[in-house]
Structure 1
Amino acid sequence: MQINKIWTISIAAFLILAGGCKKDKFTEITGVCPLVTSTNPTDLATNVPNTQIITASFNEAMKSESINSSSFTISGSSQISGTISYDETNATASFAPNVKLAPNTTYTAKISASVRDLMGSALQADYVWSFSTGDSLMPMVIATDPANNAVGVPLNKTITATFNMPMDSSTIDDTTFIVRNGATAIAGSVSYNGVTASFKPISQLAANTVYTATITNSAKNKAGTAMAANHVWTFTTGTTVAPTVTSTDPADNATGVFINKVIQANFSMPMDAATVNNATFMLKQGANPITGTVTYNGTTASFTPSVNLALGGTYTATITTGTKNPSGTPLANEYEWTFTTGNVVAPIVNSTDPANNATGVTVNKTISATFNMAMDALTINSTTFTLKQGTTNIAGLVSYSGSTATFNPTSNLSSGSTYTATITTGAKNTTGTPLANDYVWSFTTQNPAGPGVVNLKSVEPFGIMAGVGVSNNAGFSIINDMDVGISPGIRSSVTGFPPGIVVNGAIYASDDANPPGIAATLTQAKQDLTDAYLFAEGATTPAPAIVSGDIGGTTLAPGIYKSTSTLLIQSGDLTLDAQGDPNATWIFQVASGFTTVGGAGGNVILTGGAQAKNIFWQTGSSATIGDFTVFQGTILALTSIAMNSGATANGRMLVQNGSVVLTNTNIINKP
């Protein structure tokens, strides 16, 4: 009896295990029977999108070869074709129709009993369900930026989602477009344009962080049809801040735009000019591209149409993410804006003098701009016609005649400098139509006349520098706004101070204890003096003009003047004429001694904007400034310098080897 009892239990167990799959025609292997656990769409679902991929999920892994076009079918008025796949990880079969499903149609899906699990067990019966499509194509998200699972997303990224149809903008807001960091919602502003929804975070996103964006199924198209399901995607930020478009001209949705308008976009940072071109800055009227020239300057890209735009036309301008900053970071988002033209031709600047990017412009140049039509003279003024050197406004007189505006600077421009002229849109024609765009051009003035300034470096602060002695023999000599130095001479070699005085400066000697390091400072100053002397002595550009004897009573233009022996200023004053260039320079190369006789016949006179700081007298032995001479410039002497009674100088007395002697009541002013 005990044995029979055990046998009965075993038979019962076998029947329980095997009986569940008895309906199939295959040889059974004991195990779990396969079942369809869920479908998408669900049974009797309505308003299914016509792009729906139909899926069926099983309770266990299935043999993929058993899931095919015979065992997974979709039928409407007839059986439809499609691509069938099987996801082993999720035990899910998918049917992707080859064409869109028809609207307002009921479809029947069937998984037949021929599908088998890995143990060979078949579905117990055909699994059949049905669903219906909606009246029309349901809205759905077809693209996002950033894309799903994107990495290295810029911290100032605007997140966008593009739909397959126009949407009801009132349903696109911060309740239907949500960005989260984990469970925390990110504050931002939501906007909608065309078929694209945008989410702009109020603050920069955190670096190296995963974010989840969601468009909920409360978003609806213009017919009121909602999305079938939430659209969810994720992305991860990087560490960079991407460039953005900060403003455009014309602005988005502007109307009455001039048909000869130059379209411009301003960036948040400098861009790589090579990436701003016709492939990244485009203009279209509808689907038709507009030809034009793209340029880039500063932080502004400009598109100049090849011909005037059409009257009353609507245009769309686009800056793509192909534009990059110099480090290679692309624009955070493609930027698009639209505008509509009016029926007015705006005045433009036809030409300028100097031309844009001109070089070698004279420093006394009057700047002019010529228009393509008569302008209202009252609108051509110092507000609408400006000139700047960098950020500094240049004073000048603006006038208008015929069709030409002129700007006459109050004083000569600086040589070797770049200037920017601007005619603003405040300038209008006689009917009140303003300039289509600000007109901006630049030019560079001619290099300074003469050889260029001798760089004194650390000896520049000294009005007197000597090797072995500095003496004020008599009277109240004054050195203004400069120092007195001696090296390698010592403090005891400086005499006559007082009564001589140094105003806004000090006397330094190589043996001074204070300030600390003064000996080294003086040594360096003497070395810089030697270097300056050698530079002046060897200067050859422009080619030196040969002079000799007495140059008093002459007028010399900027340049290099070379004497192979001595040089005098005796028979009259020497006039140095800068010819309107305040940066003009002179170098006098004197092989031996240099002397001025002083009084009425030996002064140095400056005219035409000449400045004492730009005049250098390289002297191969000793220099003597005669009684009551008014002298201009810096003397670089090898041996010694003497200033006779009452002589004054706007300049410096710098000696390499010997001494500087102030004879009686001399004055040296900083040039």
Structure 2
Amino acid sequence: MKINYLSNAIIVASLFGFAFMIGCENKSTNADFDPDAPVIFSKSPMNNEDNIERNKVLEIIFDQAMDPSTINNTTITLQQGSTTINGSVGYSGTTARFTSQNVLAAQTDYTVKVSTGAKNASGVAIANDNEWSFTTGGNSEQLEVVELGTAGNYVILAKSAINNNPASSFTGDLGLSPMAESFITGFSQTPATGYSISDQVNGRIYAADMADPTPTNLTTAVENMATAYDDAAGRTAPDFVELYTGEIGGKTLTPGLYKWSNTVQITDDLNFSGDEDDVWILQVAENVTMSPDVTITLSGGAQVKNIFWQVAGEVTIGRTSHFEGIIFSMTGITLNTGASLNGRVLAQTAAIFDANTVVEPQ
């Protein structure tokens, strides 16, 4: 029995020693080791982690409070090869954060370094220089556009209703299916064979109860609309995740795939900057809300036909604001009084307008 007790004691001691070494992986093992030396308790991204979003804020958590004056761009650096990445370092509690000045490159290796210049509140430095690497995700090649199929024949396409408070101006065709023309209101339509016209529409108005081949054409267009929505929603390897926690007003968005799990708000002017072939896909799990008197602009040759908003919730464009892009909405799209839009409104429920100007892309 004594042998068993001794064996158990050895096992327990070994396990304890192993756990201690794991918890102190950054502690020095030399004879001069200071037991009060701080260590890095956790880090994000972790070593060799991949598919990291390109707007990632690096987090380094120490096991104790540090001297804030020693947590800076000298002691914490980010490098891509031999190039140092510009950014800002912040510190609160026991957590240091590095925020890159620009978004990181896609599919690229980066190295984080924390030097022994980082010290705790008592002036004791971390035991060793620390270094680890991660790889960004995103798309190293240009995104492919979302194919609209015949849904791209319409500036407005909806399933349950198109409601308009006159007078609005639409450039392009309007389509509604599977609901009848009676669910298109506020246009004072003049009927023709297979379509209607209106003084407010520089194009034609189509509904599911009109003469052939309109019903079949609309059925196909609505199916294509759903397929395009699923395509946009199904894109993987986002370049940007939860960018600015969904408040993108006042920002400039570069090309790429964006993903938010909450509502996106546009409270100030927003710019899309890229060339004529660049593509933006914005995946929004909740709503998109645009404040009044706000404008979306394009620069560098960016084209409205290459900006795709995939929104699971509602899209609300504020009074006298201006919006750019192709909108796919699962729940509904509303343009408030005097708002304008360059793009397309593709709603799997209703589209609602109030003295608006809507122009399809060229």
Please state which band the TM-score falls in when normalised by the shorter chain: 0.5 to 0.7
Give the one of 323, 329, 337 matched to 1:645: 337
CA drift at 1:495? 0.5
* Alignment pair present for 1:670 and 2:360: yes
Partner of 2:205: 507
Partner of 1:238: none
Amino acid at match of 2:169: I
Partner of 2:328: 636
Give the one of 565, 574, 599 matched to 2:270: 574
CA drift at 1:540? 1.8
How does 1:371-520 map onto structure 2 within 5 Å? 450-473=142-165, 475-480=166-171, 482-498=172-188, 501-513=199-211, 516-520=212-216
Give the one of 531, 539, 559 matched to 2:256: 559
Q: Specify the SS of the correspondent of 1:610.
A: coil
Instruction: State TM-score, norm by structure 2.
Output: 0.57
Q: Which runs of 5+ in 1 are unaligned?
A: 1-446
Higher relative contact order (CA 8 A, sep 6+): 2
* Structure with greater helix percent: 2
CA deviation string 1:168-194 (max 9, x = no partner):
xxxxxxxxxxxxxxxxxxxxxxxxxxx
CA deviation string 1:200-236 (max 9, x = no partner):
xxxxxxxxxxxxxxxxxxxxxxxxxxxxxxxxxxxxx
Closer, same or farther: CA 544–583 of 1 in aligned 2, 3 Å: same
Q: In 2, distance between residues paired with 1:471 and 1:568?
A: 24
Partner of 1:598: 292
Query: Does the aligned pair in 2 maintain the 1:479–1:501 contact within 8 Å?
Result: no
CA drift at 1:556? 1.1
Q: Specify the SS of the correspondent of 2:203.
A: coil
CA drift at 1:598? 2.5
Partner of 2:350: 659
CA drift at 1:544? 4.2
Amino acid at match of 2:235: A
Amino acid at match of 2:254: A
What is the number of equivalent residue pairs in this alignment? 214
Query: Does the aligned pair in 2 maintain the 1:477–1:501 contact within 8 Å?
Result: no
Partner of 1:532: 228
Amino acid at match of 1:479: F
Instruction: State TM-score, norm by structure 1.
Output: 0.31
Q: Specify the SS of the correspondent of 1:553.
A: coil
Q: In 2, distance between residues paired with 1:523 and 1:502?
A: 24
Q: After the TM superposition, which segments of 4 or more aligned residues of structure 1 sit over 4 Å from their partners?
A: 447-450
CA drift at 1:561? 1.1
CA drift at 1:620? 0.3
Q: Specify the SS of the correspondent of 2:262.
A: coil
Q: Specify the SS of the correspondent of 2:178.
A: coil
CA drift at 1:593? 0.9
Amino acid at match of 1:628: T
Amino acid at match of 2:302: A
CA deviation string 1:58-92 (max 9, x = no partner):
xxxxxxxxxxxxxxxxxxxxxxxxxxxxxxxxxxx
CA deviation string 1:555-576 (max 9, x = no partner):
1100111110111101x21111
How does 1:150-299 map onto structure 2 within 5 Å? none
Partner of 2:302: 610
Q: In 2, distance between residues paired with 1:642 and 1:533?
A: 18
CA drift at 1:541? 4.9
Closer, same or farther: CA 450–555 of 1 in aligned 2, 3 Å: farther
Q: Specify the SS of the correspondent of 1:508.
A: strand
Percent identity reads 39
Q: Which runs of 5+ in 2 are unaligned?
A: 1-138, 190-197
CA-based RMSD: 1.9
Q: Specify the SS of the correspondent of 2:341.
A: strand
Query: Does the aligned pair in 1 maintain the 2:287–2:313 contact within 8 Å?
Result: yes
CA drift at 1:546? 2.8
Query: Does the aligned pair in 2 maintain the 1:476–1:501 contact within 8 Å?
Result: no
CA drift at 1:496? 0.4
Q: In 1, distance between residues paired with 2:215 and 2:351?
A: 19
Closer, same or farther: CA 647–637 of 1 in aligned 2, 3 Å: same
Closer, same or farther: CA 450–646 of 1 in aligned 2, 3 Å: farther
CA deviation string 1:510-531 (max 9, x = no partner):
0112xx2211111110110000
Q: Specify the SS of the correspondent of 1:505.
A: strand
How does 1:130-149 map onto structure 2 within 5 Å? none
CA drift at 1:448? 10
Q: In 2, distance between residues paired with 1:636 and 1:614?
A: 13
Q: In 2, distance between residues paired with 1:541 and 1:510?
A: 38
Amino acid at match of 2:286: S
Give the one of 217, 224, 238 matched to 1:521: 217
Q: Specify the SS of the correspondent of 1:631.
A: strand
Give the one of 583, 597, 601 matched to 2:277: 583
